Amino acid sequence: MLLSGRRLGGTGLGRLGRLGAVGLAAACLSWIVALRVQGGASAPMLAVPVKAARAALWIAALPVALGAAHQRGLSDRRDGFELSMLARGFSSQDLRIARLAAAFGRILRAALLPVVVAALASIACSPSLASIGDRLLVLVVVVLQSLLVGLVLAPLAVGCDVLAPSRGRTLCIGVLAASWALADVASDAVLSVTGALGVSLSALLSIVGLGRIG
């Protein structure tokens, strides 16, 4: 899994997702510092990690998912990686599971970095113990949301790579676009992949009593 993860992270889209995660984390940290300087301890920072979670889906997680959908199996065979692993006693099924686990890990890492940075910075700037409680709940929510993002996007990406080894990325984009079209026709955001993830974030916030910032 670690080797598969490194190979995915070394792709162009893997690097793009990592760069997006780091850039978004830096932007959120700068935003919170600016709010703290301008508004003092009572500055409204509670929603920053939530906004970071929504942005991380597009800026960080999706590029990694598209990388995981793009010819990973073919690349492993072309580069001799698959043959090397088979020679060590691993099966083709083991390699597919490793690619799935690697995709989940890389997507999760990309989604987590900006939201954890934003949430911890928000907690560090809390003006009172009561506000720390709310910000800790936000931290829990955005971490759970990142897990959901990984659990949804990783199987989608790897499944597309398996079904269309040479055009997995195109298939993945097609599935996303078709879900957006369906959601638009039905006027129901939950019918799209990204819309459902947005709804899940709002639902998690409502569960912990913070629906007002969703």
User: Using one digit for the tens of pLDDT, what is the confidence trace for 137-153?
Assistant: 999 999 999 999 999 99
Residue that wins the pLDDT comparison between 87 and 182 = 182
pTM of the full structure: 0.90
Residues whose CB is less than 8 angstroms from the CB of residue 160 and which lie 6 or more positions away in sequence, other chains included: 69, 168, 169, 171, 172, 175
Residue 44: pLDDT band (50, 70, 90) is confident
pLDDT for residue 214 = 60
The rounded distance, in Å, linking the Cα atoms of 91 and 11 is 24
Half-sphere exposure of 154 (CA within 13 A, CB side): 24
Mean pLDDT, all residues of the chain: 89
Residue 13 CB neighbours (<10 A): 19
pLDDT at 42 > cutoff 70: no
Residue 92 CB neighbours (<10 A): 11
**What tokens were used for 90?**
């691993």
User: Using one digit for the tens of pLDDT, what is the confidence trace for 56-100?
Assistant: 999 999 999 999 999 887 787 777 777 777 777 777 787 788 889
pLDDT for residue 59 = 96
The rounded distance, in Å, linking the Cα atoms of 79 and 76 is 5
The rounded distance, in Å, linking the Cα atoms of 123 and 109 is 21
User: Using one digit for the tens of pLDDT, what is the confidence trace for 108-141?
Assistant: 999 999 999 999 999 988 877 777 888 999 999 9
Q: Which residue has the tokens 């409502």?
A: 206
pLDDT for residue 54 = 96
